[in-house]
Amino acid sequence: MRLFVTGGAGFIGCNLTARFLGRGDSVTVYDNLSRPRTVHNLEWLRSQPRDAKAAFSFIQGDVRDAAGLQTAMSDARPDLVVHLASQVAVTTSVINPREDFEINALGTFNVLEAARTMAAPPAVFFASTNKVYGGMEDVVVVQEPTRYRYRDLPNGVSEQQPLDFHSPYGCSKGAGDQYVRDYARIYGLRTVVFRQSCIYGERQFGVEDQGWVAHFVIAAAMNRPINIYGDGKQVRDLLYVQDLVNAYAAAWDHLDVASGQVFNVGGGTSNTLAIWSEFGALLGQLAGHPIPAKYADWRPGDQPVFVSDNSKARRVLGWEPQVTVRDGIQRLWNWVVANRELFGQ
Protein backbone atom coordinates (compact mmCIF):
# COMPACT_ATOMS: atom_id res chain seq x y z
CA MET A 1 0.00 0.00 0.00
CA ARG A 2 1.06 3.61 -0.63
CA LEU A 3 0.25 6.23 2.02
CA PHE A 4 0.39 10.03 1.90
CA VAL A 5 0.47 11.51 5.42
CA THR A 6 -0.03 15.24 5.89
CA GLY A 7 1.56 16.39 9.13
CA GLY A 8 3.53 13.15 9.10
CA ALA A 9 6.44 14.60 11.10
CA GLY A 10 4.14 15.53 13.97
CA PHE A 11 3.47 13.46 17.06
CA ILE A 12 0.67 11.28 15.72
CA GLY A 13 1.99 11.40 12.18
CA CYS A 14 5.44 10.03 12.91
CA ASN A 15 4.05 7.19 15.04
CA LEU A 16 1.57 6.27 12.32
CA THR A 17 4.21 6.52 9.59
CA ALA A 18 6.61 4.29 11.52
CA ARG A 19 3.90 1.67 12.03
CA PHE A 20 2.97 1.47 8.34
CA LEU A 21 6.61 1.45 7.24
CA GLY A 22 7.08 -1.48 9.59
CA ARG A 23 4.23 -3.26 7.82
CA GLY A 24 6.07 -2.96 4.52
CA ASP A 25 4.00 -0.08 3.16
CA SER A 26 5.45 2.94 1.36
CA VAL A 27 4.83 6.35 2.95
CA THR A 28 5.19 9.91 1.70
CA VAL A 29 5.24 12.46 4.52
CA TYR A 30 4.03 15.97 3.62
CA ASP A 31 4.80 18.48 6.39
CA ASN A 32 5.82 22.13 6.62
CA LEU A 33 7.88 21.48 9.80
CA SER A 34 6.37 24.56 11.42
CA ARG A 35 5.89 23.03 14.85
CA PRO A 36 8.89 23.14 17.16
CA ARG A 37 10.94 19.94 17.30
CA THR A 38 9.14 18.15 14.46
CA VAL A 39 12.55 17.96 12.80
CA HIS A 40 13.53 15.51 15.57
CA ASN A 41 10.63 13.28 14.58
CA LEU A 42 11.63 13.46 10.92
CA GLU A 43 15.19 12.46 11.76
CA TRP A 44 13.84 9.60 13.87
CA LEU A 45 11.67 8.39 10.98
CA ARG A 46 14.61 8.40 8.62
CA SER A 47 16.60 6.27 11.06
CA GLN A 48 13.90 3.64 11.61
CA PRO A 49 14.55 0.11 10.30
CA ARG A 50 11.88 -0.93 7.84
CA ASP A 51 10.81 -3.77 5.65
CA ALA A 52 12.74 -4.04 2.39
CA LYS A 53 9.52 -3.46 0.45
CA ALA A 54 8.80 -0.18 2.26
CA ALA A 55 9.88 3.21 0.91
CA PHE A 56 9.95 6.51 2.79
CA SER A 57 9.97 9.97 1.24
CA PHE A 58 9.54 13.47 2.63
CA ILE A 59 8.12 16.58 0.99
CA GLN A 60 8.26 19.89 2.80
CA GLY A 61 4.96 21.51 1.94
CA ASP A 62 1.91 23.25 3.34
CA VAL A 63 -1.72 22.13 2.99
CA ARG A 64 -2.67 25.76 2.34
CA ASP A 65 -0.76 25.53 -0.95
CA ALA A 66 -3.43 23.85 -3.08
CA ALA A 67 -1.31 23.58 -6.23
CA GLY A 68 1.75 22.24 -4.43
CA LEU A 69 -0.37 19.74 -2.52
CA GLN A 70 -2.08 18.58 -5.71
CA THR A 71 1.26 17.99 -7.42
CA ALA A 72 2.77 16.16 -4.45
CA MET A 73 -0.25 13.91 -4.04
CA SER A 74 -0.50 13.16 -7.76
CA ASP A 75 3.18 12.23 -7.90
CA ALA A 76 2.84 9.95 -4.84
CA ARG A 77 -0.25 8.15 -6.23
CA PRO A 78 -1.41 7.03 -2.76
CA ASP A 79 -3.99 4.42 -1.95
CA LEU A 80 -4.69 6.20 1.34
CA VAL A 81 -4.29 9.82 2.47
CA VAL A 82 -4.14 10.33 6.24
CA HIS A 83 -4.78 14.01 6.89
CA LEU A 84 -3.21 14.99 10.20
CA ALA A 85 -1.77 18.45 9.38
CA SER A 86 -3.52 20.95 11.62
CA GLN A 87 -3.44 24.03 13.81
CA VAL A 88 -3.99 22.26 17.11
CA ALA A 89 -4.50 24.81 19.92
CA VAL A 90 -7.75 26.48 20.97
CA THR A 91 -5.84 29.43 22.44
CA THR A 92 -3.93 30.00 19.21
CA SER A 93 -7.18 29.90 17.23
CA VAL A 94 -8.60 32.68 19.39
CA ILE A 95 -5.52 34.83 18.85
CA ASN A 96 -5.29 34.22 15.10
CA PRO A 97 -8.59 32.85 13.79
CA ARG A 98 -7.76 33.51 10.13
CA GLU A 99 -4.64 31.35 10.21
CA ASP A 100 -6.57 28.69 12.11
CA PHE A 101 -9.28 28.70 9.43
CA GLU A 102 -6.82 28.58 6.54
CA ILE A 103 -4.91 25.61 7.98
CA ASN A 104 -7.78 23.55 9.34
CA ALA A 105 -10.77 24.31 7.13
CA LEU A 106 -9.20 25.41 3.85
CA GLY A 107 -6.31 22.95 4.24
CA THR A 108 -8.74 20.06 4.64
CA PHE A 109 -10.73 21.25 1.62
CA ASN A 110 -7.50 21.31 -0.40
CA VAL A 111 -6.72 17.72 0.63
CA LEU A 112 -10.19 16.56 -0.38
CA GLU A 113 -10.06 18.32 -3.73
CA ALA A 114 -6.60 16.95 -4.49
CA ALA A 115 -7.87 13.45 -3.74
CA ARG A 116 -11.19 13.86 -5.58
CA THR A 117 -9.61 15.04 -8.82
CA MET A 118 -7.04 12.24 -9.07
CA ALA A 119 -7.55 9.62 -11.78
CA ALA A 120 -7.74 6.96 -9.07
CA PRO A 121 -8.99 8.79 -5.95
CA PRO A 122 -7.44 7.51 -2.70
CA ALA A 123 -9.27 6.95 0.55
CA VAL A 124 -8.99 9.89 2.98
CA PHE A 125 -8.80 9.52 6.76
CA PHE A 126 -9.24 12.72 8.80
CA ALA A 127 -8.14 13.48 12.36
CA SER A 128 -11.06 15.41 13.86
CA THR A 129 -11.57 16.25 17.54
CA ASN A 130 -14.05 15.88 20.36
CA LYS A 131 -14.15 19.69 20.41
CA VAL A 132 -16.80 19.48 17.65
CA TYR A 133 -19.26 18.66 20.45
CA GLY A 134 -18.63 22.01 22.13
CA GLY A 135 -19.25 22.68 25.81
CA MET A 136 -22.16 20.19 26.03
CA GLU A 137 -23.95 22.50 28.46
CA ASP A 138 -27.08 20.35 28.21
CA VAL A 139 -25.29 17.32 29.70
CA VAL A 140 -25.56 17.11 33.50
CA VAL A 141 -22.18 16.83 35.28
CA VAL A 142 -21.74 15.68 38.88
CA GLN A 143 -18.81 16.72 41.07
CA GLU A 144 -17.12 14.05 43.19
CA PRO A 145 -14.21 14.42 45.66
CA THR A 146 -11.44 14.14 43.02
CA ARG A 147 -13.26 14.39 39.69
CA TYR A 148 -16.31 15.24 37.62
CA ARG A 149 -18.51 12.68 35.88
CA TYR A 150 -21.53 12.56 33.60
CA ARG A 151 -24.75 11.85 35.45
CA ASP A 152 -26.59 10.30 32.51
CA LEU A 153 -23.87 9.08 30.10
CA PRO A 154 -22.35 6.02 31.78
CA ASN A 155 -20.64 4.96 28.54
CA GLY A 156 -19.47 8.44 27.57
CA VAL A 157 -20.26 10.62 24.57
CA SER A 158 -21.41 8.87 21.39
CA GLU A 159 -21.45 10.10 17.80
CA GLN A 160 -25.13 10.94 18.32
CA GLN A 161 -24.21 13.90 20.54
CA PRO A 162 -25.27 17.10 18.72
CA LEU A 163 -22.44 19.07 17.13
CA ASP A 164 -21.82 22.50 18.67
CA PHE A 165 -18.67 24.14 17.31
CA HIS A 166 -17.22 26.35 20.06
CA SER A 167 -14.12 28.53 19.51
CA PRO A 168 -12.48 29.23 16.14
CA TYR A 169 -10.63 25.91 16.51
CA GLY A 170 -13.88 24.03 17.02
CA CYS A 171 -15.37 25.77 13.98
CA SER A 172 -12.41 25.10 11.69
CA LYS A 173 -11.99 21.47 12.69
CA GLY A 174 -15.75 20.99 12.62
CA ALA A 175 -15.91 22.39 9.09
CA GLY A 176 -13.22 19.95 8.01
CA ASP A 177 -15.02 17.12 9.80
CA GLN A 178 -18.24 17.81 7.90
CA TYR A 179 -16.54 18.36 4.55
CA VAL A 180 -14.78 15.00 4.85
CA ARG A 181 -18.03 13.28 5.74
CA ASP A 182 -19.94 14.95 2.93
CA TYR A 183 -17.36 14.19 0.24
CA ALA A 184 -18.20 10.53 0.85
CA ARG A 185 -21.91 11.23 0.31
CA ILE A 186 -21.67 13.63 -2.63
CA TYR A 187 -18.61 12.40 -4.51
CA GLY A 188 -18.31 8.81 -3.34
CA LEU A 189 -14.86 9.44 -1.88
CA ARG A 190 -13.92 6.76 0.63
CA THR A 191 -13.48 8.79 3.80
CA VAL A 192 -13.34 8.11 7.53
CA VAL A 193 -13.52 10.74 10.30
CA PHE A 194 -11.93 10.08 13.68
CA ARG A 195 -13.19 12.35 16.46
CA GLN A 196 -10.22 11.95 18.76
CA SER A 197 -9.99 12.47 22.49
CA CYS A 198 -6.78 13.17 24.41
CA ILE A 199 -3.96 11.39 22.56
CA TYR A 200 -0.60 10.95 24.29
CA GLY A 201 2.61 8.97 23.98
CA GLU A 202 6.22 8.97 22.90
CA ARG A 203 7.48 11.67 20.53
CA GLN A 204 4.90 14.17 21.77
CA PHE A 205 6.47 17.54 22.49
CA GLY A 206 3.54 18.89 24.46
CA VAL A 207 3.17 22.51 25.50
CA GLU A 208 0.82 24.21 27.91
CA ASP A 209 -2.01 24.86 25.45
CA GLN A 210 -1.77 21.59 23.53
CA GLY A 211 -0.64 18.08 24.41
CA TRP A 212 -1.17 18.59 28.13
CA VAL A 213 -0.31 15.03 29.19
CA ALA A 214 3.14 15.20 27.63
CA HIS A 215 3.54 18.80 28.83
CA PHE A 216 2.95 17.74 32.45
CA VAL A 217 5.28 14.74 32.12
CA ILE A 218 8.05 16.84 30.55
CA ALA A 219 7.63 19.58 33.14
CA ALA A 220 7.76 17.10 36.03
CA ALA A 221 10.82 15.31 34.62
CA MET A 222 12.64 18.59 33.89
CA ASN A 223 11.61 20.35 37.13
CA ARG A 224 9.65 23.04 35.32
CA PRO A 225 6.59 24.91 36.62
CA ILE A 226 3.10 23.53 36.03
CA ASN A 227 -0.02 25.70 35.87
CA ILE A 228 -3.47 24.20 36.43
CA TYR A 229 -6.42 26.12 35.01
CA GLY A 230 -9.55 25.41 37.02
CA ASP A 231 -9.72 23.11 40.03
CA GLY A 232 -7.79 20.18 38.53
CA LYS A 233 -10.77 17.83 38.77
CA GLN A 234 -11.53 18.05 35.05
CA VAL A 235 -11.69 14.52 33.63
CA ARG A 236 -10.43 13.37 30.24
CA ASP A 237 -10.24 9.95 28.63
CA LEU A 238 -6.67 9.29 27.51
CA LEU A 239 -5.80 7.27 24.42
CA TYR A 240 -2.26 5.98 23.93
CA VAL A 241 -0.94 6.86 20.49
CA GLN A 242 -0.29 3.27 19.39
CA ASP A 243 -3.91 2.45 20.16
CA LEU A 244 -4.95 5.35 17.93
CA VAL A 245 -2.71 4.02 15.15
CA ASN A 246 -4.45 0.66 15.61
CA ALA A 247 -7.77 2.42 14.95
CA TYR A 248 -6.50 3.87 11.67
CA ALA A 249 -5.15 0.48 10.62
CA ALA A 250 -8.46 -1.18 11.54
CA ALA A 251 -10.38 1.36 9.45
CA TRP A 252 -8.20 0.57 6.43
CA ASP A 253 -8.65 -3.16 6.98
CA HIS A 254 -12.45 -2.67 7.22
CA LEU A 255 -12.77 0.12 4.65
CA ASP A 256 -15.76 -1.51 2.99
CA VAL A 257 -17.86 -0.85 6.11
CA ALA A 258 -15.90 2.11 7.56
CA SER A 259 -16.13 4.30 4.45
CA GLY A 260 -18.31 7.37 4.97
CA GLN A 261 -18.41 6.82 8.72
CA VAL A 262 -17.55 8.96 11.75
CA PHE A 263 -15.99 7.34 14.82
CA ASN A 264 -15.36 8.61 18.32
CA VAL A 265 -11.96 7.24 19.38
CA GLY A 266 -10.70 7.85 22.89
CA GLY A 267 -9.56 6.07 25.98
CA GLY A 268 -13.17 5.42 26.97
CA THR A 269 -14.56 4.90 30.44
CA SER A 270 -11.73 2.57 31.53
CA ASN A 271 -8.97 5.09 30.75
CA THR A 272 -10.03 8.32 32.43
CA LEU A 273 -7.98 10.63 34.61
CA ALA A 274 -8.62 13.88 36.45
CA ILE A 275 -6.03 16.26 35.04
CA TRP A 276 -4.37 17.12 38.34
CA SER A 277 -6.23 15.83 41.41
CA GLU A 278 -5.37 12.31 40.14
CA PHE A 279 -2.63 12.85 37.55
CA GLY A 280 -0.51 14.91 39.96
CA ALA A 281 -0.25 11.99 42.39
CA LEU A 282 0.69 9.61 39.56
CA LEU A 283 3.43 11.95 38.38
CA GLY A 284 4.70 12.21 41.94
CA GLN A 285 5.04 8.43 42.08
CA LEU A 286 7.01 8.39 38.82
CA ALA A 287 9.28 11.24 39.89
CA GLY A 288 9.77 9.97 43.44
CA HIS A 289 8.66 13.26 45.00
CA PRO A 290 5.57 15.51 45.07
CA ILE A 291 5.10 17.70 42.00
CA PRO A 292 4.16 21.31 42.79
CA ALA A 293 1.61 23.18 40.71
CA LYS A 294 0.05 26.64 40.64
CA TYR A 295 -3.67 27.17 40.09
CA ALA A 296 -5.31 29.79 37.89
CA ASP A 297 -8.82 30.63 36.69
CA TRP A 298 -10.74 28.31 34.40
CA ARG A 299 -10.13 28.85 30.70
CA PRO A 300 -13.19 29.69 28.55
CA GLY A 301 -14.96 26.66 27.13
CA ASP A 302 -13.04 24.13 29.24
CA GLN A 303 -15.19 21.04 29.63
CA PRO A 304 -15.35 19.70 33.20
CA VAL A 305 -15.43 16.21 31.71
CA PHE A 306 -15.11 14.50 28.36
CA VAL A 307 -15.21 10.73 27.93
CA SER A 308 -15.62 9.09 24.54
CA ASP A 309 -18.06 6.25 23.92
CA ASN A 310 -16.09 3.87 21.68
CA SER A 311 -18.98 1.47 21.08
CA LYS A 312 -19.31 2.19 17.36
CA ALA A 313 -15.59 1.71 16.69
CA ARG A 314 -15.68 -1.53 18.66
CA ARG A 315 -18.72 -2.79 16.75
CA VAL A 316 -17.70 -1.74 13.22
CA LEU A 317 -13.90 -1.89 13.35
CA GLY A 318 -13.35 -4.47 16.08
CA TRP A 319 -11.20 -1.86 17.83
CA GLU A 320 -10.78 -0.86 21.45
CA PRO A 321 -7.89 0.54 23.52
CA GLN A 322 -5.33 -1.97 24.76
CA VAL A 323 -2.90 0.17 26.79
CA THR A 324 -4.01 1.37 30.23
CA VAL A 325 -3.47 4.94 31.35
CA ARG A 326 -0.90 3.93 33.95
CA ASP A 327 1.11 1.80 31.50
CA GLY A 328 0.95 4.42 28.77
CA ILE A 329 2.07 7.26 31.03
CA GLN A 330 4.88 5.07 32.37
CA ARG A 331 6.06 4.56 28.77
CA LEU A 332 5.88 8.29 28.07
CA TRP A 333 7.77 9.07 31.28
CA ASN A 334 10.50 6.58 30.41
CA TRP A 335 10.88 8.09 26.94
CA VAL A 336 11.12 11.65 28.27
CA VAL A 337 13.70 10.70 30.91
CA ALA A 338 15.77 8.78 28.34
CA ASN A 339 15.69 11.73 25.90
CA ARG A 340 16.17 14.76 28.13
CA GLU A 341 18.40 16.38 25.52
CA LEU A 342 15.36 16.84 23.26
CA PHE A 343 13.66 19.08 25.81
CA GLY A 344 16.34 21.71 26.38
CA GLN A 345 15.34 25.33 26.42
Ramachandran region of residue 318, left (φ > 0), alpha (ψ -120 to 50) or beta? left
133, 169, 179, 248: the catalytic one is 169
Residue 177's DSSP bridge partners are: none
* Torsion sign (Cα): 261, 58, 213, 178: negative
- Each residue of 277-309: b (16+ CB within 10 Å) or e? bbbbebbeebeeeebebeeeeeeeeebbbbbbb
d(CA 124, CA 338): 35
CA angle 168, 6, 89 (to 5 degrees): 25
State the Cα–Cα distance between residues 274 and 294, nearest whole angstrom.
Answer: 16
Give the DSSP letter of residue 269: T
CB atoms inside a 10 Å sphere around CB 186: 10
Write out the DSSP string of 96-135.
-HHHHHIIIIIHHHHHHHHHHTSSSPPEEEEEEEGGGGTT
C-alpha to C-alpha distance for 158 and 83, rounded to whole angstroms: 23
295 is catalytic: no
- Report the run of H or E that residue 66 belongs to, with start and end: helix 66-76
Active site positions, annotated: 169
